[in-house]
Structure 1
Amino acid sequence: MELKKQSIAIAGGGSTFTPGIIMMLLENLEIFPIRQIKFYDNDPERQKQIADACEIILKERAPEITFVATTDPETAFTDIDFVMAHIRVGKYAMREKDEKIPLKYGVIGQETCGPGGIAYGMRSIGGVLELVDYMEQYSPDAWMLNYSNPAAIVAEATRKLRPNSKIINICDMPVGIEHRMAEILGMKSRKELSIRYYGLNHFGWWTDIRDKDGNDLMPAIQKHVKEHGYLTPAELEGKGNEEVEASWVHTFGKAKEVYPLDPKTLPNTYLKYYLFPQDEVEKANPEYTRANEVMDHREKMVFGECNRIAQLGTAVNSELETDDHASYIVDLARAIAYNTKERMLLIVPNNGAISNFDPTAMVEIPCIVGSNGPEPLVQGEIPRFQKGLMEQQVAVEKLVVEAWEEGSYQKLWQALTVSRIVPNARVAKNILDDFIAVNTEFWPTLN
């Protein structure tokens, strides 16, 4: 049976991740055929650099696909089946402030965790809701696959403020760690793994990992993580991928310190920010944070290569690479488009999947995905240690969304104070006041 060809809108057409997603989509045309791709961004100059190169790539590799790059919502969102959204409101200039302002007060600044994630969330909520509204206005039967950060706060906002929208919030961090697990085990692909996992976005634990024959792989991975974290055998031999920046190498190695807190499970790497925040502060350079690292490396490389392709008029010998982590987006879109019943890790309303946890919390758990969207798999009760940590973090996420909706200074101060990363309410207030001063263009007015 011939598969129906899909029409895709990529919201965040000017993102440095967009070329990798295009390359990944092209590699999967046999299982996910595409008739049309549209780029949408509110920054025409930035998008043009990416779009000009991607248009050349598409003409050379799949000329049958119609391509449009636009800043007009009606053009972008009319006649589409899926919106793949990865926007960054405020771009990397604001991420730099998210990271550096907390460091002034001895608190780690990070893109999705703690104060940095809260500031970013306050910018992202409005942007993602706007995309949802455009999609529902111009293509009401379409689905939005949202991987805009901070995914936890954005997911809570869409649950609360657009409860009937066809949006699925996803994250590639577990996918990236599972790639490493497969490499640690000497397996070819993470798709050979069958996993059980629960938590919040960037805040979770694997509880069971097996191969397709049902063999328990947890002990072998646990032994490796106990000694080396998620560093791969190649990295331990000094033969790692040169594209993996030093900050990520540290993050993957740090998992060996997080792991002993519950050695029956395997932790998400981002738990280091909540369980060892002062270690991260001590390691951080307040003058050169992760945002600077990305701007100096990934941003320059991707835009430089896109501009080179546009000038030459060909993508032959291009250095742009497929974003392998993004393959989960195709898996998700295929599951919805063709009812494949794929098992995937998604961010969904709890609704009893974790039986002893807030039913309204947005949890990250395995789901079976078909044409009606995700069907969460029951995880049962979770231990007190994880439950306590998760309840505290859910409170942060819900307070942020309430603060955005109500324009409440009080609730945002409370959110910062509740965060494990912030030491006390005074520091929380100082950080908040500094954030307000630089986010007047992006945040709602707080009273």
Structure 2
Amino acid sequence: MPDKKFSVVIAGGGSTYTPGIVLTLLDNLDKFPIRSLKFYDNDGERQQKIADACAIMIKERAPEIEFLATTNPAEGFTDVDFVMAQIRVGKYEMREKDEKIPLKHGVVGQETTGPGGIAYGLRSIGGVLELIDYMEKYSPNAWMLNYSNPAAIVAVATNRLRPKSKIINICDMPIGIMDRMAKILKLDSYKELDFDYYGLNHFGWWTAVRDKKGNNLMPQLQAYVREHGYILPDESGTEKSWRETFEMAKNVYALDPETLPNTYLKYYLYPQEVVKHSDPNHTRTDEIRLGREKFVFEECAKITESGTAANSAFKSDEHASYIIDLCRAIAYNTKERMLVITPNKGAVENLDSDTMVEIPCLIGANGPEPLAQGKIPRFQKGLIEEQNSVENLVVDAWTEGSYTKLWQALSLSKIVPDAGLAKIILDELVEANKDYWPELKIGRPEPVLS
């Protein structure tokens, strides 16, 4: 492989995932050598707390790497080869509203699905486009690997509004599920599996899982999921909401026992069940604030105060490993088979060509080459086309400033019971997001709701 060392900027350097990404980069310098690592964030105070600890980690492990944390786009995006984008526009304050406003009305409150996902999508579109524009201005040959949520809506927007940009939208959820599949099969890592998969982001199905010798592992996995979902024998370190999600996969699987489902399908197929087990006053955001966020910032403070990361509890993770593998595939043109979000272009035979599907692709220097997944069944086709229409309506609403298109998106969402309730929730979301959304033009006439 070439001797070139790469320059990387993590956009969203204040994320709680950043220390794990940095550790994974440091663990893989033999495979993906780095000369420069930058953090970029528009919240300098939050980022600095993470950056101070990461600077110590880098100095102890790889002092030759140049490190910079900045809020200046020119500094952050100049002379970089890869942009790893993980921004959260509105941070946890707005995520909490995404979850709690719909739940107040008996509708699923979740950050990437239903009304909450739509609200977050309208905030994320502008933020991700801004990052693309910075990259193309200051480092036009760079690639962006975007895993900012909601990835499905962001992928539709970037494909439509920046169609020639070098951006690949990705998600770690299928990787996390495949890692569970590996544990179920008593394998060391998801990297020991080959697979076929199709869908939208957070909305897909595995049609094949094999080992590297080509042996079919689906029957063994399906038998396990039928009884347990994706729950593992030991879930002692797993948060309650995720344990419920992994267990409920068996209910989703029952709808199509020929495949294996992405866990997020529970929100679309069993929304009433999800709401029944949700607390409108204590959602996933509250769990994160009391869990991961508290841990990360306390651990960063310990490292900074002690001046060493020698006894740090931070660990590298599979999520970051996947991102690095993607960088390597692009940098070295390896044509590795990986799951990414990409224009369909006939890969799923009976879906529109411009649908932003999540499917296996060969990844090389020119980006993804989609792999054919054939014709999909009517059940999945109907669900995908409905959800894809929702996501396109959201992008329409953003580009046109259209209240009506946004109301249509919520009304079409399988998660929302009817258009009247969709309007009630939308009006609350409009008020909550007035500092983030484009101004929406309200059409007439309005319905008379009792």
Task: Note whether the superposition's TM-score is higher than 0.5.
Answer: yes
Map of 1:434 onto structure 2: 428
Match of 1:411 among 402, 405, 408: 405
Aligned to 2:157: 157
What amino acid maps onto 2:52 in structure 1?
A: D
Give the Å deviation of 1:59: 0.2
Of residues 268, 271, 279, the one that matches 2:265 is: 271
Matched, 1:230 2:224: no
1:116 aligned residue = 116
1:88 maps to what in 2? 88
User: Which of 278, 283, 286 in structure 2 is aligned with 1:284?
Assistant: 278
1:175 corresponds in structure 2 to: 175
Look up the match of 1:298: 292
Counterpart secondary structure, 1:270: helix
1:196 alignment counterpart: 196
Q: Residues 350 and 375 of structure 2 are in contact (CA less than 8 Å); yes or no, is this contact kept in structure 1?
A: yes
Superposed, 1:95-134 pairs within 5 Å as: 95-134=95-134
Give the whole-Å Cα distance in 2 for the aligned partners of 1:47 and 1:432: 32
Cα distance in 1, alignment partners of residues 260 and 215 from structure 2 = 17
Q: CA RMSD in A?
A: 0.7
- Work out the CA distance in 2 between the residues paired with 1:69 and 1:57: 14
Q: What is the percent sequence identity of the aligned residues? A: 67
Letter in 2 for 1:226: R
- 1:323 deviation in Å? 2.1
Q: Following TM superposition, by how much is the alpha carbon of 1:311 offset from its aligned partner in structure 2, in angstroms?
A: 1.1
Larger deviation, residues 1-10 vs 404-413: 1-10
Q: For the residues of structure 1 that align with 2:246 and 2:4, how far apart are their CA atoms? A: 40
The equivalent position to 1:339 in structure 2, one of 330, 333, 338, is 333
Q: Which amino acid aligns with 2:283?
A: T
Note the alpha carbon deviations across 1:311-369, whole angstroms, 9 max, x for none: 11111101112122221101100000011111000000011111111111100000000
Cα distance in 1 between the residues matched to 2:114 and 2:195: 28
The secondary structure found in structure 2 opposite 1:378 is coil
Could you tell me which residue of structure 2 aligns to residue 245 of structure 1?
Answer: 239
Report the AA paired with residue 280 of structure 1.
Answer: V
1:259 to 2:257 alignment: no
Q: 1:386 aligns with which of 374, 380, 385?
A: 380
Shift of 1:241: 4.5
1:100-127 deviation per Cα after TM superposition (whole angstroms, max 9, x unaligned): 0001111011010111000000000000
| Structure 1 segments unaligned to the other structure (5+ residues) | none
Question: SS in structure 1 opposite 2:135?
Answer: helix
Aligned length: 441
Runs of 4+ in 1 over 6 A off after TM superposition: none
Q: Distance in 1 between matches of 2:3 and 2:264?
A: 38
Following the alignment from structure 1 to structure 2, what is the Cα–Cα distance between the partners of residues 215 and 353? Answer: 24
AA paired with 2:272? Q
How far apart in 2 are the matches of 1:312 and 1:192? 39
| AA aligned opposite 1:18 | T
1:357 aligns with 2:348: no
Question: In the alignment, does 2:421 pair up with 1:422?
Answer: no
TM-superposed CA distance for 1:2, in Å, is 4.3
Letter in 2 for 1:134: Y
The 3-state SS of whatever aligns with 1:186 is: coil
